[in-house]
Amino acid sequence: MLMEFREFIARGNVMDLAVGIIIGATFTAIVSSLVEDLVNPLLGLIIGGVDFSGLSFGLGDAQFMYGNFINAVIKFLITAWVVFLLVKAVNRMRRIGRKPEPEPRPEPEPEAPRGPTTEELLAEIRDVLKARQP
């Protein structure tokens, strides 16, 4: 069982996943700082000094912090936009790094093998039937 676990961990895709999770966690911290330290103050200037994290309403004993939800949506949108830009840049780099493939030349279609004509098949059947007769 220990050998199976070692083989599982040594697979490339598991290691890639672990690296992705670690980078994703670090990236989340960067995006959180971007939203809280740069975007929210900028939006506060545009909207008139509103701090989203302080927005809430109460219903009985429950306190609904919808400002935190707005912050989470902003973080998500920024993260999705940055990931989109990164994927787009990586795809562009891959295209630039490749040599352009030559246009494939159309190959002439091989002629279909000709089978016997209907008349030839009927003549063959006739000959087989004649050979069967006593």
pLDDT tens readout for residues 69-97: 887 887 788 778 877 887 888 888 888 77
Condensed to tens digits (0 to 9), the pLDDT of residues 12-52 reads 677 778 888 888 888 888 877 877 788 777 777 777 765 67
Q: Is residue 10 part of a domain?
A: yes
Residue 50: per-residue pLDDT: 57
CATH number at residue 49: 1.10.1200.120
Cα distance between residue 54 and residue 71, in whole Å:
10
Residue 6: per-residue pLDDT: 76
Q: Is residue 39 part of a domain?
A: yes
Q: Is residue 124 part of a domain?
A: no
Residue 35: per-residue pLDDT: 73
Residue 39: per-residue pLDDT: 75
How many structural domains is the chain composed of?
Answer: 1
Q: Is residue 134 part of a domain?
A: no
Q: Is residue 120 part of a domain?
A: no
Domain that holds residue 96: 2-100
- CA dihedral 28→75→14→98, nearest 10 degrees, is -100
Q: Is residue 118 part of a domain?
A: no
Res 100 pLDDT > 80: no
Cα distance between residue 68 and residue 51, in whole Å:
10
Q: Is residue 34 part of a domain?
A: yes
